[in-house]
C-alpha cells in the first residue's frame, strides 16, 4: 500500500511549478488572486501558460469545478494537491475533504486564512470561495472530492442516531456567509491509514473500487465524529465573541438528561444564561428545553428498543417526573405510544 514517504518526492509538474515559483515569486504571493489576475500574470510570463497546458490540458483553471469532474458512476475521487501551483480563488459544486498527510496546508476561505498542520482535516461545503496554497516540499495534502448527494447520504446517515448533532453539522455546513467548513485536528494513525488506503484504491481502480471508497469514507466519518469532535472548529466560531465548545455542551446535556438544569449547564461551561441561550440557538436553532426534551425521547426510544425495562423505569431513567408529560411528548415525537413503539421491534 502507498505510504507517506512515497508521496513526498516532487513529481514532474511540481518540479516545474517550483522552478517558476522561485523565478517569479510575485505570482504566488498573497493576497490570493482571482482567475483574471492569474491570467494577466500568465500573459506576462508565457512559460506559466505552457506549463499549465502541459499538465492540466482541458482542465485549465476555472472559477467553478462542477461534478462533471467525476467519472460516470463515481461518487468519490481523490487528488493529491499539486505543490507550488499558483493559488487562485474558485469554488466547487461538490464537497471537498482535505487531509494533511505531512507538512502544512493553507487556504483563504472567503478572505480568511485557514491553516492546518499534519493530521488536520477540513470539510469544505460546495459553493464556498477558497484559494488553497502549498509552497513547501514537505506539504503532502490529499483532496477527497465527494458528490453532494453522496456526502449528505453518508455523513448524515451516520448521524441519524443523534439528530441534535446532525442539525448542528447541517448549520455549520450551510453558513449563509459563504464560509461553510468544519476542521478537525487528529494526527490519528487510524485516520491516516484510511486516507492512504483510499489513495491506493483510487490509484489502482480495481473492480468495485468506487463502492470500497464509499465504505472507507463512512468509516472516516465515524472516526472523526467518535474521537475528534473535541478538536472540531467551524466557521461559526468566528461569528461569536467567545469560543464555544458546542459539542461538549451537547454531550453534557445528553449524559445528564436525568437531572440537568439550565443554570447548572451554564455554570459548568462558565457562560451566563443569556450567552448559553445565544450559543444553543446559534448552533442548533433550538432552545435548552427543546433540546432536552428531544434528547430524553431519544434515550427512551433506545431503552424501549434495546432493553426489557418496564416503561415506568424508562420514564424514570429519562428524567421525567410527570408520567403524563412523558406520554404526551413521546406520542408527539414518535407518532406512537411507548408500548406501540416497543412492539414494532418485536419480530
- Is residue 240 over pLDDT 70? no
Average pLDDT, the chain: 86
Sign of CA dihedral 49, 52, 56, 59: negative
Residue 120 and residue 98: Cα distance in Å, rounded? 8
Q: Which residue would you say has higher pLDDT here, 151 or 178?
A: 151
Residue 294 and residue 161: Cα distance in Å, rounded? 12
Query: pLDDT value at position 347?
Result: 53
Give the other-Cβ count within 10 Å of 1's Cβ: 10
Query: pLDDT value at position 236?
Result: 67
Cell digits of residue 33 = 488572486
Q: Report the interhelical angle of 273-284 vs 163-172 (nearest 10°).
A: 80
Dump pLDDT digits (tens) for 113-132.
899 999 999 999 888 889 99
Q: pTM value?
A: 0.77
Query: pLDDT value at position 61?
Result: 66
For the chain, give the percent of residues with pLDDT over 70: 93
For the chain, give the percent of residues with pLDDT over 90: 43
Dump pLDDT digits (tens) for 249-262.
887 888 898 889 99
Residue 304 and residue 323: Cα distance in Å, rounded? 15
Residue 186 and residue 239: Cα distance in Å, rounded? 24
Dump pLDDT digits (tens) for 283-307.
777 889 988 988 898 888 888 888 8
Query: pLDDT value at position 239?
Result: 52
- How many residues are given for the chain? 347
CA distances from 175 to 7, 30, 124, 171, 239 (A): 34, 25, 11, 6, 10
Across 39-43, 99-103, 226-230, 272-276, the highest mean pLDDT is recorded for: 99-103
Mean pLDDT, range 232-238, rounded to an integer: 72
Amino acid at each position: 500500500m502507498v505510504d507517506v514517504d512515497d508521496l513526498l518526492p516532487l513529481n514532474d509538474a511540481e518540479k516545474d511549478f517550483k522552478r517558476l515559483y522561485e523565478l517569479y515569486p510575485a505570482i504566488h504571493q498573497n493576497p490570493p488572486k482571482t482567475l483574471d489576475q492569474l491570467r494577466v500574470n500568465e500573459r506576462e510570463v508565457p512559460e506559466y501558460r505552457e506549463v499549465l497546458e502541459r499538465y492540466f490540458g482541458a482542465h485549465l483553471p476555472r472559477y467553478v469545478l462542477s461534478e462533471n469532474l467525476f467519472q460516470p458512476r463515481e461518487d468519490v475521487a481523490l487528488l493529491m494537491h499539486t505543490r507550488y501551483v499558483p493559488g487562485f480563488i474558485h469554488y466547487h459544486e461538490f464537497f471537498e475533504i482535505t487531509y494533511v498527510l505531512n507538512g502544512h496546508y493553507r487556504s483563504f476561505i472567503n478572505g480568511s486564512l485557514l491553516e492546518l498542520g499534519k493530521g488536520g482535516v477540513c470539510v469544505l461545503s460546495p459553493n464556498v470561495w477558497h484559494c488553497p496554497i502549498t509552497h513547501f516540499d514537505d506539504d503532502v495534502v490529499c483532496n477527497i472530492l465527494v458528490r453532494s448527494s453522496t456526502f449528505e447520504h453518508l455523513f448524515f446517515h451516520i448521524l441519524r442516531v443523534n439528530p441534535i448533532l446532525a442539525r448542528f453539522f447541517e448549520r455549520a455546513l450551510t453558513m449563509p456567509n459563504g464560509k461553510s467548513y468544519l476542521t478537525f485536528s487528529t494526527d490519528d494513525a487510524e485516520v491516516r491509514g484510511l486516507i492512504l488506503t483510499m489513495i491506493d484504491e483510487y490509484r489502482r481502480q480495481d473492480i468495485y473500487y468506487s463502492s470500497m471508497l464509499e465504505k472507507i469514507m463512512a468509516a472516516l466519518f465515524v472516526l472523526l465524529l467518535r474521537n475528534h469532535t473535541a478538536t472540531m472548529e467551524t466557521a461559526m466560531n468566528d461569528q461569536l465573541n467567545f469560543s464555544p465548545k458546542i459539542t461538549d455542551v451537547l454531550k453534557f446535556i445528553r449524559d445528564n438528561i436525568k437531572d440537568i438544569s439550565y443554570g447548572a449547564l451554564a455554570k459548568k461551561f462558565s457562560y451566563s444564561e443569556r450567552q448559553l441561550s445565544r450559543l444553543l440557538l446559534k448552533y442548533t436553532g433550538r432552545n435548552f428545553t427543546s433540546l432536552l426534551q428531544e434528547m430524553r425521547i431519544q434515550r427512551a426510544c433506545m431503552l424501549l428498543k434495546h432493553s426489557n425495562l418496564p416503561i415506568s423505569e424508562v420514564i424514570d431513567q429519562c428524567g421525567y417526573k410527570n408520567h403524563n408529560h412523558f406520554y404526551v411528548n413521546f406520542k408527539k415525537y414518535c407518532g406512537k405510544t411507548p408500548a406501540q413503539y416497543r412492539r414494532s421491534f418485536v419480530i
